[in-house]
A and B are shown apart, each in its own frame.
Chain A
């Protein structure tokens, strides 16, 4: 019963902080709320016993990517006056479109087999580091190696894009 309360609190907090990401006017506050959202999603992974992904989510998302966002945001030195906002009509259109998307998704959920199934029933051990490591280094070894090429390409691309035109990197 207490587990139930914990998950409901987690879910509502996640949705509230995700809403604050969209609604807050200041971009730095959006980043902070996004970090909170990622931490709460990490807690949800732990609730579903996906321990490896919980750790990776915390380090990669809440750590690395969000710090990168914060750095760029502070590097650009924006002030509140230049913060662009959408017009009233396009905001209304976006809310209607998003609401209908949500309605379609919930309707698709209504008749699924998964409804009412507790995740405690099958005692899933699949999210542990041992199981995922076995899978990652046997079945998905080619994809795992290819990600290193992707990272090198992204690194070279980021440096090439962000350096100034007349600047030569030794």
Chain B
């Protein structure tokens, strides 16, 4: 155990980076009002989870987690296309991509 000497090459460093990325994505999703930037912050959070899955996959020497990351990327690609087309359609109707404009969807 070389806990102090291996701060860069140890796996918990990658876990730390992944947690920090997830937090940054969450803060961005809460502060930004632009819908496209919001979608980008969600992509950032997805990537943080992907990084964590790869880290654990390397640690346990198990390939299943990396297959999950592959499927996450597939779903993220589909999600981005549909989300962006929804944004385009909403921009045509409201001429704005402010997320607060869409509280009109309630009624």
Chain A interface residue count, CB cutoff 8 Å, equals: 89
Question: Are A118 and B17 within 8 A (Cβ)?
Answer: no
Residue-by-residue, is B69-102 near A (CB-CB < 8 Å gives 1, otherwise 0)?
1110111111111101111110110001111100
Task: Give the interface of A toward B (CB within 8 A).
Answer: 3-8, 11, 14-15, 18-19, 21-22, 27, 30-31, 34, 37-38, 41, 44-45, 48-50, 52-53, 56-57, 60-61, 64-65, 68-69, 72-73, 75-76, 78, 82-86, 90-91, 93-95, 97-99, 101-102, 105-106, 109, 112, 114-120, 122, 124, 126-127, 131-132, 135-136, 139-140, 143, 147, 150-151, 153-155, 157-159, 161-162, 164
Q: Which residue of A lies closest to B98 (CB)?
A: A84
Given contacts A18-B21, A34-B43, A105-B23, contact A56 B73 (CB under 8 A): yes
Q: Which residue of A lies closest to B76 (CB)?
A: A65
User: Interface size bucket, B side?
Assistant: 35 or more
20 residue pairs of the A-B complex, CB under 8 angstroms, read A6-B8, A14-B21, A21-B28, A34-B43, A41-B47, A50-B58, A68-B81, A68-B84, A73-B36, A76-B36, A86-B32, A94-B30, A105-B19, A105-B23, A115-B3, A116-B3, A127-B66, A132-B63, A140-B71, A153-B78
Task: Give the interface of B toward A (CB within 8 A).
Answer: 1-3, 6-17, 19-28, 30-34, 36-37, 39-41, 43-44, 47, 50-51, 54-59, 61-64, 66-67, 69-71, 73-82, 84-89, 91-92, 96-100
Given contacts A19-B24, A48-B14, A126-B57, contact A3 B8 (CB under 8 A): yes
Interchain CB contact (< 8 A) of A109 among B15, B25, B74, B92: B15
Chain A interface, DSSP helix/strand/loop, else mixed: helix
Question: Are A98 and B30 within 8 A (Cβ)?
Answer: yes
Complex interface: chain B residues within 8 A of A119 (CB): 9-11, 14, 55, 58-59
Interchain CB contact (< 8 A) of A38 among B39, B47, B62: B47
Q: Which residue of A lies closest to B73 (CB)?
A: A60
Given contacts A3-B8, A119-B9, contact A60 B77 (CB under 8 A): yes
